Amino acid sequence: MAQGGIGSSVKRKEDARFLTGRGTYVDDIVRPGQTHAVFVRSPHAHAKIKAVKTAEALKAPGVVAVLTGADLAADKVGNLPAGWLIHSKDGTPMVEPGHMALVADKVRHVGDQVAVVVAETKDQAREAAALVEVDYEPLPAMVGLAQAIAPGAALVHDQAKANTCYDWHLGDKAATDAAFAKAHKVVTLDLVNNRLIPNAIEPRAAIGEFDRVTGDLTLYTTSQNPHLIRLLLSAFTMGVPEHKLRVVAPDVGGGFGSKIFHYAEEFVTLWAARRIGRPVKWTATRSEAFMSDAHGRDHVTHCELALDKEGRFLGLRERTLANMGAYLSQFAPSVPTYLHATLLAGCYTTPAIYSEVRAVFTNTVPVDAYRGAGRPEATYLIERLVDVAAREMGMDRVDIRRKNLIPKDKFPYQTPVALQYDSGDYQATLDAALKKADWAGFEKRRAEAKARGKLRGIGISTYVEACGIAPSAVVGALGGRVGLWESAHVRVHPTGSITIFTGAHSHGQSHETTFAQLAAEKLGVSTDQVEVVHGDTAKSAFAMGTYGSRSLAVGGTAIVNAIDKIIAKGKKIAAHLLEASEGDVDFKDGKFTVRGTDRAKAFGEVVLAAYIPHKYPANLEPGLEESAVYDPKNFTFPAGCHICEVEIDPDTGVTQVIAFTAVDDVGTVINPMVVEGQVHGGVAQGIGQALLEGAQYDDQGQLLSGSFLGYTMPRAGDLPSYQVGTEVTACTHNPLGVKGVGEVGAIGSPPAVIGAVCDAIGVRHIEMPATPERVWRAIRDAKKA
């Protein structure tokens, strides 16, 4: 193994700058002559705009411009697109109402952007924004899903009848109904997957810049995918060709999905910069983030599981209402459909599955992908049903799972909901987790806790997820409007240092280290010699960015393919230098050798020869840099088992997570330290969803949990230390055998936590977040019953 190569916990290259305050986030950037933007946002959830009066604001000190929806309309720009087209059961396309970056007709959620004020200083912009007078005529606010689809509900968009965006289904209904008809037992469950607010600690920010001489536009933005933003700016919101547009996403302080999307504010800063001819900067306040960053989850589901006498799953069906919020954010339509219903087999052999999903507009902040996106919702639904089935069948929760897991000799495994899992060993992760968590010894711990007056419970979830998105052809067939391949360019410099240009973006994922490890492994160089460049459309080739745990499986594969081209070219050069036939040259541990001889050339010698081609093969170009793109052949399917142990204070209902064990199969592990860190973070968000977090609106559509004072972010004291382990089955369709780790923690954990709470207090189900009051009430109600 090369030093720092695959499998070693190399310390992170990015840490030196972050630990000394030298990271460069968008808000740290100051452009010459920059102005500051502040948005005027709606205080109403739903209201007609009768007039927007800007005269007073324009007169305020320092104000450079005040722009409104009317200005957007005049410039014919600013309509934010949806990136995925879903067709309803009846074949009609989803209702796509459009989303203007500044609204002119009516506001549809609290925080909707009505105008922007640009001034010399932030304070001046803020003060002038307060002088923009908007006349609203309030309309009834459609806040909850049930309210929005009730007969006679006010319409968020006139064209979306019954506030329905689409009414979609997947699976074989007849076969599923037949399975239920012959079932020994049917268990049913109604559950809510609570709305979450992603809250990356860095608030979104953007700086738009316009070069008056060249007409070039530059946008600095907090994005997980600068190329995608440039594409959308070019093709939709700005209508400026790509070669005049540069998008830079420098250090980005966490994303979790919420920084995938093309947001109104980043377009507006760029558009305003072009209009005034000066840079325009905007940074969200946290209060603003709460009402303008896309939220996550928010499903209301009815689901059923059919079982035979032995507890084998015969069929699963569900009906979900999915909240889209007020507008369609880019990937919102795909989340409750192709990222959710396709996962409903989970890691089980359930032969028949039918899912119906109705997407609904409401007067709330748009909902889109948040860590896991659709897969946590599917996993929660399945695993809660399995727990309830075990309870109602009088079976052990582990036994019922074991009985239904897909056996390891059945891969590739075709599920009834479109996906084909390539590899896995679900028994192995289950067994390892049970052992690590000492599942067998739990009852003793429960008794010990009881003696202290605490209710102790244990919960388990076995899950599989689909990530490494995604094969472009498949995505296209399912309504995706983009390809989902990834690019890489590897440049070996004359003296042997290496720059890797990637389209993936690191905002916590440690790509600068793990991608360098790929080069170290393949080329036998030190990671210190390798620099990874990302986040700038002027530097790396077009690619799709980072989300869906795809960076390594797709972007990493592209890098490896580019490196393989470097090696292939190196062999040609080495063969010439060593006067051997190219077919006889091997490359290993940084050395080109002639098979069966002791003749060798070090990698560095070959590199130098490529740049100083004094002795060089004819018909070969000098230089040593190669590009590759990789379009994956399938999704990847990480899987695993999570076990949670809690103690509940029966007097207050407070749940403390005592232990959390995660054993995941994420395929080949490049850097164990980084993989563990990713699992920790995902699990923390899953525990947050299960116990602490939840967006709450009042019936007027005001966000009650609109700041960190009202929305519970997991803190150090809320969480335990985790026990994390991995089991490896290699992905069969990428050369590294990697699957992805970014989302597994958030996908597998919530049902394990809720299962533990239910076990502790002896109830069938409790909704997330299981707040102290909810748990206290559940204990009280259980006593009454």
Continuous H helices in 34-149? 55-59, 69-75, 122-129, 145-149
Residue (448 or 773) nearer to other proteins, CB: 773
**Chain position carrying tokens 């409007």:** 481
**In the bound complex, what is the minimum distance in angstroms from residue 649's beta carbon to other proteins?**
9
**Of the candidate residues 22, 50, 595, 615, the single one contacting other proteins (CB under 8 A):** 22
Instruction: Count Cβ neighbours within 10 Å for each residue of 103-128 and write b for 16 or more, e otherwise.
Output: bbebbbbbbbbbbbbbbbebebbebb
Instruction: Count Cβ neighbours within 10 Å for each residue of 370-379 and write b for 16 or more, e otherwise.
Output: bbbbbbbbbb
State CA 650 to chain mean position distance: 36
Q: Give the range of 12-20, 320-328, 440-448, 549-557 binding other proteins by CB under 8 A.
A: 12-20
Residue (33 or 710) nearer to other proteins, CB: 710
453 touches other proteins by CB under 8 A:
no
Measured at the CA of 284, the angle between CA 281 and CA 287, to 5 degrees, comes to 155
**Of the candidate residues 708, 781, 782, 783, the single one contacting other proteins (CB under 8 A):** 708
Enumerate residues 126-155 that contact other proteins by CB under 8 A.
none
220 touches other proteins by CB under 8 A:
no
Using CB under 8 A, count the residues that bind other proteins.
74
User: Which residues are paired to 710 by β-bridges?
Assistant: none
699 touches other proteins by CB under 8 A:
no
472 touches other proteins by CB under 8 A:
no
**Of the candidate residues 351, 483, 735, 772, the single one contacting other proteins (CB under 8 A):** 772
Enumerate residues 25-54 that contact other proteins by CB under 8 A.
25, 27-28, 30
14 touches other proteins by CB under 8 A:
yes
Cα distances (Å, whole numbers) of residue 73 to 52, 77, 157, 213: 14, 7, 18, 26
Residue (19 or 612) nearer to other proteins, CB: 19
719 touches other proteins by CB under 8 A:
yes
**Of the candidate residues 100, 132, 232, 252, the single one contacting other proteins (CB under 8 A):** 252
Q: Give the range of 20-28, 260-268, 361-369, 733-741 binding other proteins by CB under 8 A.
A: 20-28
Quote the CA–CA distance of 390 and 108 in Å, as a whole number: 44
**Of the candidate residues 7, 254, 613, 725, the single one contacting other proteins (CB under 8 A):** 254
Residue (10 or 573) nearer to other proteins, CB: 10
Provide, for the chain, the percentages of residues in helix, strand and coil under a 3-state DSSP scheme, each rounded to the nearest 5. Answer: 35, 25, 40
Helix H or strand E segment including 516: helix 511-523
Q: Give the range of 107-115, 284-292, 306-314, 475-483 binding other proteins by CB under 8 A.
A: 284-292
Q: Give the range of 59-67, 104-112, 351-359, 717-725 binding other proteins by CB under 8 A.
A: 717-725
782 touches other proteins by CB under 8 A:
no
Locate the DSSP E strands across 42-159: 47-53, 63-68, 106-107, 113-119, 133-138
Quote the CA–CA distance of 424 and 637 in Å, as a whole number: 8
Sign of CA dihedral 62, 67, 71, 72: positive
Number of other residues whose CB lies within 10 A of the CB of residue 368: 26
Two tokens, residue 549: 């745990």
Two tokens, residue 258: 């919420």
**Of the candidate residues 1, 15, 586, 620, the single one contacting other proteins (CB under 8 A):** 15
Locate the DSSP E strands across 290-351: 299-307, 313-325
365 touches other proteins by CB under 8 A:
no
Helix count and strand count (H, E) for the chain: 20, 28
Q: Give the range of 133-141, 392-400, 430-438, 678-686 binding other proteins by CB under 8 A.
A: 678-686
Number of other residues whose CB lies within 10 A of the CB of residue 50: 10
**Of the candidate residues 621, 707, 762, 781, the single one contacting other proteins (CB under 8 A):** 707
Q: Give the range of 15-23, 93-101, 424-432, 614-622 binding other proteins by CB under 8 A.
A: 15-23
Q: Which amino acid does the sequence have at 50?
A: K
Enumerate residues 727-766 that contact other proteins by CB under 8 A.
745
Enumerate residues 506-535 that contact other proteins by CB under 8 A.
507-510
256 touches other proteins by CB under 8 A:
yes
Residue (25 or 411) nearer to other proteins, CB: 25
Enumerate residues 80-109 that contact other proteins by CB under 8 A.
none
**Of the candidate residues 652, 762, 782, 783, the single one contacting other proteins (CB under 8 A):** 652
How, if at all, do strands 63-68 and 455-464 pair? unpaired
713 touches other proteins by CB under 8 A:
yes
